[in-house]
């Protein structure tokens, strides 16, 4: 089993570190375009093996995709991170060319790989990969909803003063400050609906905080977050390579599901060895469906930029 992570920046390196610690593959390849960065981080991580007890071999390479040959999963984190005041939409022009080139190079050497997209704007980059690579739709997965759902559970845990591992909560829709939809109605604390424990005003604040969770961290850090995004990417990889059949919110191709077509958007899916295997219908209310449709409209507007640039 070999896994490739493209992009040795903060998110990519954190994702790789989590994959190695979990021993999800015999070999992990970390690739970056900047000379020496992937090699240095790979050596640094390998020097933790004796301390942490993992056996995964980590190899760092500079822009040599031949070293990624035979990868089961490839995680794409390449591209510019979002900076303070920058929207995900503004990243399209820069990151689209990067993501398309990376995905094409991966498939030259690993034609059967499952592609995990982390690069922003994630929904549009996932759509780009789907349209430009010609792969079966189940092999193209955007990570964003896993991260958004983890942030949702964090804010719920703060409001409830409880352990976030005791919570279930999903965020659907686009991976953006104005497009994600925290499903507070379905959130539970050890099977008990959180709506029975929290006032509606508190739930509304939790949802609002979740939606700007990424922007909040960008404002504090001066760049995009990396610990949770990296861990979210690794969690998705784990469900694939271990065929865990976990239910995650992932950005996938919709062909009529949730009332949308010709778009990649975050919905609950089962993730296993074949990639994403089944979309779960959460039976949205009219209000939730209207919000989902609005989210789709916003993402579709970003996708249209790809058409204008003749990338799809």
Annotated active-site positions, please?
175
β-bridge pairing 73-76 and 2-6: parallel
Q: Crossing angle of helices 227-241/144-160, nearest 10°?
A: 120
Contact of 63 with 104, CB cutoff 8 Å: no
Residue 286 backbone phi and psi in degrees, to 5: -60, -40
- What sign results for the dihedral spanned by CA atoms 300, 260, 207, 240? negative
HSE of 5, CA atoms in CB hemisphere, 13 A: 34
Give CA–CA dist 90/192, Å, rounded. Answer: 41
What is the full DSSP assignment across 129-163?
A: HHHHH---GGGEEE-HHHHHHHHHHHHHHHHHTS-
Contact of 182 with 171, CB cutoff 8 Å: yes
């Amino acid at each position: 089993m070999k896994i490739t992570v493209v992009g040795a920046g903060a998110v990519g390196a954190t994702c790789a570190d989590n994959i190695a610690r979990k021993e999800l593959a015999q070999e992990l390849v970390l690739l970056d375009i900047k000379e020496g960065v992937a090699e240095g981080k790979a050596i640094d991580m390998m020097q933790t093996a004796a301390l942490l007890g993992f056996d995964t071999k980590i190899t760092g390479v500079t822009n040599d995709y031949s070293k990624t040959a035979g990868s089961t999963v490839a995680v794409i984190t390449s591209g510019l991170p979002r900076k303070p005041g920058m929207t995900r939409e503004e990243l399209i022009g820069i990151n689209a060319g990067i993501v398309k080139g990376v995905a094409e190079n991966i498939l030259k050497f690993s034609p059967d790989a499952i592609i995990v997209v982390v690069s922003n704007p994630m929904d549009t980059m996932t759509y780009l990969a789907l349209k430009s690579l010609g792969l079966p739709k189940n092999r193209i997965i955007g990570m964003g909803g896993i991260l958004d759902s983890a942030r949702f559970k964090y804010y719920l845990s703060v409001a409830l003063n409880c352990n976030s591992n005791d919570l279930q909560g999903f965020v659907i829709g686009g991976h953006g400050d104005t497009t994600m939809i925290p499903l507070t109605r379905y959130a539970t604390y050890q099977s008990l609906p959180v709506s029975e424990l929290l006032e509606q005003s508190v739930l509304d604040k939790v949802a609002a905080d979740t939606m700007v969770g990424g922007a909040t961290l960008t404002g504090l850090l001066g760049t995009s977050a990396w610990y949770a995004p990296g861990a979210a990417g690794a969690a998705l990889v784990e469900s694939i390579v271990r065929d865990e059949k976990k239910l995650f919110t992932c950005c996938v191709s919709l062909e009529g599901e949730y009332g949308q077509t010709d778009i990649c958007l975050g919905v609950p899916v089962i993730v296993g060895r074949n990639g994403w295997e089944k979309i779960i219908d959460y039976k949205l209310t009219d209000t939730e469906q209207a919000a989902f449709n609005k989210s789709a409209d916003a993402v579709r507007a970003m996708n249209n930029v790809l058409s204008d640039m003749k990338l799809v």
